[in-house]
Structure 1
Amino acid sequence: MRPITSILHAISLVKLCPKFYSAMAKQTVKEDILNMPELKLLSDLFSQRGYLLRLAGGAVRDILLNIQPNDYDLASDATPDKMIEILSNKENIRLITTPSGERHGTVAALINGSKMFEITTLRIDKITDGRHAEVEFIQDWKLDALRRDFTINSIFMELDGSIIDYFNGQKDLSDGVIRFVGNPVERIKEDYLRIMRYFRFYSRFGHQDHEKETVKALADNIDGLSSISGERIWSEMKKTLVQRNCDKVIPLLFDINVASYMGFYTETKPMDLEEFFKVHKNVWSMSTSFEPITLFSSLIRSPEEQISLISRLKMSNFEKETSFHIITNRNDEYNLSLHNLKKQLVLTSKSNQKVYHRYTLELLKYKGLQDIYNDLADWNIPTFPLRGDKIGPKMKRRQLISQVMSELKSIWADNQFEMTEQELINEMDRLIEKYNSIN
């Protein structure tokens, strides 16, 4: 008879991931990965030289949830020099190394031109400054697990499928608990970016209340974020925002003042999050994915605050312009009609129409306007039938050509883009006569 704790453990995993029942029955992802011939090749090469090779970190975590990992991360007791010896000059293996990777014990192997594996030597962080670490290679698997950020990322898997779990990461994963390995203050001080990583992993895997010890450790070390680049903070934030449960961590982010280290004004309080919760509901009600900046824009209250955030987080031009577009238009209900949105698109210069179309679609996701989104997403912007050179020769004041062109496009849009070329020429002549009569 199986112990009751094992049964409860299995039930909790089913609650965490609805697909886990099929994983218990078939172990599809696990079997697929462990049976990969490329992994078998690596295992044989390392074992022939007397070294161990195990799946590690996020790969194991995802396998336990029957999720296909994005990356195949492996750990070994072989040093980087030994790994290079093992993998060099092997048929169908392309060895990839960098000086930085070797210093931190990591080499990569591309096998058969398709499967990439990153293999890292067991190590400890000997000297850290909250951003970078000087590492020491070791032979102790538990010490390597201890240096990792969260218990759910500290699990190893043998290539026969058995689990090595020194810090109860498997239980925390099934319980939805995001817990630092060992002392949370020590883990945070090793790399202050782990503050942001906590929000990301909680939004993806957490479903218990935040542990008081964890929250205190985060809050007490928040100043460490001042030493972390805006790009790295924004990268973690974006990964958080695309998780459905990010609404469970954003209030904490403001409660413990992470927000001010991102560029938000310090007077921002959790009570200001009503717009965020509304937009969170909107974007997840849509039938399509959204850009992280779309949901993030709901947290921005003014153009001045937006400039502060753009400067600190080093956003891309697309993110910056999307946010500007959303903030400028989110309260303009009149111009959010399908007709007026189409009109704005045709009035935009042809070179900018494609990107303006993207900005507008993100605005519609922000507002949760599914029907208008469907119409506009599939709409092929029509080409205006007249060229500016038809206007120029007839105009006395050439600086008014663009004005006439805009008015013509507006009339064309108001007529559902169905006017013939001759009808537009007639309107053009009327407008030219009007403007030529002005002294």
Structure 2
Amino acid sequence: MTRLPDAAWRNNAGLNALIAALGGTEGDIRFVGGAVRDTLHGMAVKDIDCATRLLPEESSRRIAAAGFKAIPTGIAHGTVTALLPSGPVEVTTLRRDVSTDGRHAVVAFTDEWREDAARRDFTINALSADPLSGEVHDYFGGIADLEKGIVRFIGDPLQRIAEDHLRILRLFRFHARFGRGAPDAAGLAACIARANDLMALSRERIADELLKLLTCPDPGPTVRLMADNGIFRPIIPEIDAAGVERLVTLIAREREAGIAGNALRRLGALLPIDAGTAVSIAKRLKLSKAATRRLEQALSDADSARALAYRYGPEVAADVLLRGGDDVEMLGLEQLTNWERPRLPVGGGDLIGMGLKAGPTVAATLQAIERRWIAEDFPGGDRVTAITAEEVDQAIRSRK
């Protein structure tokens, strides 16, 4: 019998009280999904999910009676979120699928643990654990698959993909995180055969899953596998072998620089080196305006780390430098350590005091001064005074 290790999260404030309120001693509640999987794998747990035999209305009543706030986050699908002092815990009533269309599922509640586990995508995600004894319930060989580094569909892969097309991308994400060696052959074949099904998904779901994949420690080999087998073609056909190589290089440089991997930075490396194309893809994926702007700015051809950081911020500067190809750019990263954005020591009032008329000429001259000041690495003192004098003189002469 496998038991769940006594990981730190199991002692979170309020969790034991929640378990007691929801029938822990009667076997009415279990930890499920990622919390069980990641704990068995020796990984940190971010989110705690529970499944229960109780109907959502009863779960809500008991959560509130225990002194916690109950939020009906997905009440139609049986999910209630309990707000504990240590954070949220999702509590979902056991379910079975009534019908699916590849994007949405109609569910009915059940009291059978195996039936609920059977509707999950992969064996490693179908594990559940008794919160009191720690006993892990494994109906489909998930523990063995986790130990072997195999991400395997429960049942027929083609049927599982037909139920939810996003499972194609999820297979690759979980393989990047937990897989070792080649992926499960049947699962891979099904994903390749049904890749066009991805076109039926919302762009938001695709973007969310892709960014989660790129957050994995080393998604490079998995992304290459996806590109080689045409998985991106229905959704982002612009991704090619060159983009994959840029991504692999970027990941190596992140490690070399000791900088944490960033999903948007990695996506930028994967996309074509063209600002217009990157923006078009970002809009297609319905990324936020901030994310779209970051992808666009990271394609800047500015020639120094500090110039990039001044214009776009140190985050974008790091994106550009890490995607570069030599030690000069890596040294540029060191310039960003504890760097504070300087302030141009000249203002419009100074230029008016030197003889310029308030209006567009002042703004244009100030921009010209700033461009030279950036190009010369933000000088001060006599040098910035000289630059200002030269640009003001030029502006005055051009008016005559």
Q: TM-score, normalised by structure 2?
A: 0.88
Deviations 1:205-224 (A, max 9, x none): 11120222111111222222
1:177 alignment counterpart: 150
2:350 is matched with which residue? 390
Q: Displacement of 1:58 after TM fit?
A: 0.6
Stretch moving more, 120-129 or 247-256: 247-256
Q: Residues 22-63 of structure 1: CA distance to partner in whole angstroms, max 9, x if unpaired?
A: xx9xx8x62534455633323333338945211111110011
Q: Does 1:380 align with 2:356?
A: no
Alignment of 1:33-432 (within 5 A): 33-36=9-12, 38-47=14-23, 50=26, 52-90=28-66, 92-98=67-73, 101-111=74-84, 113-159=85-131, 160-265=133-238, 269-270=240-241, 273-301=244-272, 302-303=274-275, 305-329=277-301, 335-336=302-303, 340-343=304-307, 348=311, 355-367=312-324, 369-392=329-352, 394-395=355-356, 399-410=360-371, 412=373, 417-420=378-381, 424-425=384-385, 427-432=387-392
56-65 vs 376-385, which moves further: 376-385
Is the 8 Å Cα contact of residues 262 and 309 (structure 1) preserved in structure 2? no
Match of 1:360, as an amino acid? A
Partners of 1:257 and 1:53 in 2: how far apart?
42
Change (3 A) 1:322 1:290: farther
| Shift, 1:164, TM fit | 0.7
Helix, strand or coil: the match of 1:327?
coil
Distance apart, 1:357 and its partner CA: 3.6
Alpha-carbon separation, structure 1, partners of 2:297 and 2:376: 26
Q: Is the 8 A contact 2:305 2:332 kept in 1?
A: no
**1:377–1:150: structure 2 CA closer, same or farther, 3 Å change rule?**
same
Residues 136-160 of structure 1, C-alpha deviations (whole Å, 9 max, x = no match):
1112111111100111110111121
Which residue identity is paired with 2:190?
A: A
Mapped contact 2:309–2:315 kept (Cα < 8 A): no
* Closer/same/farther in 2, CA of residues 89 and 432 from structure 1, 3 Å limit: same
1:106 is matched by which residue type in structure 2?
T
Number of residue pairs matched by the alignment: 393
Unaligned runs of 5+ in 2: none
Q: Secondary structure at the match of 1:201?
A: helix
Provide the aligned C-alpha RMSD in A.
Answer: 2.8
Is residue 306–residue 377 contact of structure 2 (8 Å, CA) maintained in 1? no
Q: 1:344 to 1:136 in 2, by over 3 A?
A: closer
1:403: Cα distance to partner?
4.0
**Contact residue 397 and residue 436 of structure 1 kept, 8 A:** no
Deviates more, 1:382-391 or 1:195-204: 382-391
The 1-side partners of 2:200 and 2:129 are apart by 35
Distance 1:343 1:34 in 2: 48
Q: CA deviation at 1:176?
A: 0.5
> So what's the TM-score if we normalise by structure 1?
0.81
Q: Classify 1:317/1:70 alpha carbon distance in 2 versus 1 (closer, same or farther; 3 Å).
A: same
Gaps of 5+ in 1: 1-5, 11-23, 330-334, 349-354
